[in-house]
Structure 1
Amino acid sequence: MSSLTDRTSAARRRTPLNRSQIAGFWGAWAGWTLDGMDSFIYALVLTPALTELLPRSGYAATPANVGLAGSILFALFLVGWGMSFIWGPLADRFGRTKVLAGTIFTFAIFTGLAATSHNVWELGIYRFIAGVGIGGEWALAGTYVAEAWPEDRRKMGAGYLQTGYYAGFFLAAALNYTIGVHFGWRAMFLTGAVPVVVAILILLRVKESEKWQKAEAQAERAKPLREILGPAYRRRTWVACTLLTIAIIGLWAGAVYEPSAVIQLASKAGMAKNDAIRMASLATGLLSIGTILGCLALPPLAERFGRRKTLAFYFAGMAVAITGSFGWAFYLPNGLAPFIAWLFVLGFFGGNFALFSLWLPEQFETRVRATAFAFCTSFGRFVGAGVNFLLGAAVLHMHTLGVPVALTALVFVAGLFVIPFAPETKGEVLPQ
């Protein structure tokens, strides 16, 4: 009884957040939300945008060409994400908040410019550069919150931060349900450039984390990329790269093709085009709600059962959910309702990304933390780009969406055998 009372009292005595920590969190969260919105806008407007731009580029807008071009453009976007490792060393050298603002500014400007595209080549260039900006936001936001928040609050802070990305999915779905249906895909890209100015203004007024300031004052000029690939960190760096690669492949296979799958199933059920688009938006909203709940549930699970067991639970759930949705429900005669129901489960276990926001900062010291975070996420995106291209080719070859996406469940099964090689950091404080 006394033990329960002690834990309750400890929870009530959690270190209060100061104004800068609160403002910094909301700035990072807003940036991550708009990042998620930007990423998912492409999935939602893929078909109408390419249907218009392919003929202007000299190609027929057949379903096969739309699918192939969409996969190539998305692979290019992921390569841009992969190039985002450049932001990590910059943040370790010049600080978290200024460089974080730079990533947001980059993806905002080039998302807006995508609305001016005259052909698929211009769209590809704008999405590539937007990807460079988007890719850096997660690494820097996660690093900032881990360092700026008190030790007794930073774990839940990671879960709260990760909800932003999927709140962005929900926001993109709401915008598509209203603006996209009535004003088209160009208006959707324009929305990605407007509200991000607020996040930049907040971030520019936020103080740098004390941990980074202390490390900057004490350390000699480090070479963080060389250090994370050196003997001290090599194993944990490559294990983290592998686990993040698995998570990225699964997320994008499921999330990017989800709207197209829902539209196909809705059309098969006899819905009109606009009604099918609205149904895809509603399904995306449900996916996002599930993922937000998964993000919030993850930190308490990681604190109780450890990082490795929690990730194994989420990876196993992803394998089951991808198989159930794309491998089973997608092929049912009346599969729309079962498919959408499975999306909630897929969303919940997609919250596994929150663990990396919590876990990666715990594995590296302050002087190399941002570089390590950016490098590991970038590596996964490079591999994800290649897998996405192969996935698009498989969809084209097999003339079906479900089976190729369902096969990505296998990478999560493989991930269960990689997790034991990662360090367990439960109960450890953030290394200085």
Structure 2
Amino acid sequence: MDYRKKTVVASVTGLTLEGMDIMFISFAMSLIIAEFHIDLATGGLISSITNIGMLLGGIVFGVLADKYGRVKVFTYTIILFAVGTALTGLATSIEQVYVFRFIAGIGAGGEYGIGMALVAEAWPKNKQGRASSYVSVGAQYGVILAALLSAMILPAFGWRALFFVGVLPVIFAFIVRKNLDESPEWLAAQKQKKTAKADKGKLLQLFDSPRTTCTTLALILMATVQIAGYNGLMIWLPSMLQKSQGLSVSGSALWTISTAVGMIIGMLTFGRIMDRFGAKRAYGAFLIASACAVFLYANATGAVMVLVGGAIVGFFSNGMFAGYGALIGSLYPVEIRSTATNTIFNIGRAVGGFSPILVGYILQSYDMKVAMLYLAGLYCLSFLVMLTVKRASAGKMTEAVA
């Protein structure tokens, strides 16, 4: 297996394990609430604390990966979220669950950007979009894997046994460490960088000029919209459809599967469109299509339209997720690429994670059409912001962004 394929396999496996880890909480939530006798809000805080850990881990491990190497730090992030997940199974109080999920979040937050940086540095620019899309679908694989493991383990052994499975990624970390060499582009940059550059704060380099600051803030807003849209759709739409269309629980589960399939196809398609037409054209088309699809979906009626429409919404709204690794990688130089990817996307993940609260308020105060109009408006806002994105470093924008 050549180096390019190794980076994709390592990164997609890491994101699969991360997605599995995150979804374990969703499947085990009702059992955790029952065991510790807590209310829904207290249980929901588990995900919020995990997201805060991801933000911290994304920043810290992004800086470390740019300084000490992608592969070495990548393996540490995997080990950390594996240990945090396994420790969750030993928690004797909800406070301990919070602590262990925070630890797992730190590791998970660092893994995403490092894996994407590895792929961006291994693949030629005209194929980075599709390589990024191959990695991005790993999160969906993780959801499927978590669902299968939960179905087998929870009824027979309880929620604690589910989290003990989380120690298995440690084995994967050792395999990566042994079989994957460091990024040649990063090694070359290490030899060439000047002492003054090495002493400069990596995180501050994301804001070291007005142009770079605008680019960083624009990408943070785009990432926030990406996560806010995904969370708003996936968390609330099943219950919205149960209420507005009279869908049964099994029907809403079928909708979830249909939407997830649409998302996977959308990711793989987006990567190829991005490689062929450039990031701005790809994001522009998908953002406008997402706004239209979400707005029109509020008027869907009948089981067939609900299922097909869900797949179409998933295709466009989450297809864009596939491009962020390649997009950010093309906009920032190698010495801050991991820091940029982790910081930007994890800030988006932390802020966008609050979207379900706002969607819930809109549903409570208004109706589904207003909620979908809110989501459509987010995509329109992201489209306008996307038009301002320029390469952070001096010089012409790369072909991938043009």
Could you tell me the TM-score, scaled by structure 2's length?
Answer: 0.84
Q: Which amino acid aligns with 1:165?
A: A
Q: Is the 8 A contact 1:303 1:427 kept in 2?
A: no
CA distance in 2 between counterparts of 1:46 and 1:319 reads 32
CA distance in 1 between counterparts of 2:240 and 2:149 reads 19
CA distance in 2 between counterparts of 1:316 and 1:373 reads 24
Match of 1:254 in 2: 233
Match of 2:50 in 1: 77
Q: 1:426 to 1:219 in 2, by over 3 A?
A: closer
Q: Which amino acid aligns with 1:37?
A: M
Residue 196, structure 1, aligned to residue 134, structure 2: no
Residue 140, structure 1, aligned to residue 108, structure 2: no
CA distance in 1 between counterparts of 2:35 and 2:294 reads 31
Cα deviation 1:5-59 (Å, max 9, x = unaligned)? xxxxxxxxxxxxx534333321111011111222233333333432x1452x4xx
CA distance in 2 between counterparts of 1:413 and 1:307 reads 17
CA distance in 1 between counterparts of 2:183 and 2:304 reads 47
Q: 1:246 to 1:19 in 2, by over 3 A?
A: same
Counterpart selection for 1:407 from 356, 360, 374: 374
Say which is worse superposed, 166-175 or 40-49, in terms of deviation: 40-49
Q: Is the 8 A contact 2:16 2:140 kept in 1?
A: yes
The equivalences for 1:145-164 within 5 A come to 145-164=119-138
Tell me the CA shift for residue 311 of structure 1: 1.1
The equivalences for 1:24-423 within 5 A come to 24-50=7-33, 52-53=34-35, 55=37, 57=38, 65-66=39-40, 68-83=41-56, 84-180=58-154, 183-191=157-165, 193-205=166-178, 206-220=180-194, 221=198, 222-231=200-209, 233-257=212-236, 276=250, 283-323=255-295, 327-328=298-299, 338-349=305-316, 350-391=318-359, 398=365, 407-423=374-390
Match of 2:394 in 1: none
Q: Is the 8 A contact 2:231 2:355 kept in 1?
A: no
CA distance in 1 between counterparts of 2:137 and 2:291 reads 21
Q: 1:369 to 1:343 in 2, by over 3 A?
A: same
Q: Which amino acid aligns with 2:269?
A: A
Tell me the CA shift for residue 229 of structure 1: 0.6
Q: Where does structure 2 lack aligned partners over 5 or more consecutive residues?
A: 392-396
Match of 1:6 in 2: none
CA distance in 2 between counterparts of 1:374 and 1:180 reads 33
Q: 1:114 to 1:283 in 2, by over 3 A?
A: farther
Q: 1:359 to 1:30 in 2, by over 3 A?
A: same
Could you tell me the TM-score, scaled by structure 1's length?
Answer: 0.79
Query: Over aligned residue pairs, what C-alpha RMSD do you find?
Result: 3.2
Q: 1:394 to 1:82 in 2, by over 3 A?
A: farther
Q: Which amino acid aligns with 1:415?
A: S
Cα deviation 1:64-90 (Å, max 9, x = unaligned)? x42x33443322222222212111110
CA distance in 2 between counterparts of 1:162 and 1:195 reads 21
CA distance in 2 between counterparts of 1:187 and 1:401 reads 38
CA distance in 2 between counterparts of 1:177 and 1:344 reads 24
Q: 1:230 to 1:147 in 2, by over 3 A?
A: same
SS at match of 1:407: helix
CA distance in 2 between counterparts of 1:369 and 1:195 reads 29
Cα deviation 1:206-261 (Å, max 9, x = unaligned)? 11011100111111314221222111522211111111111111122223445666
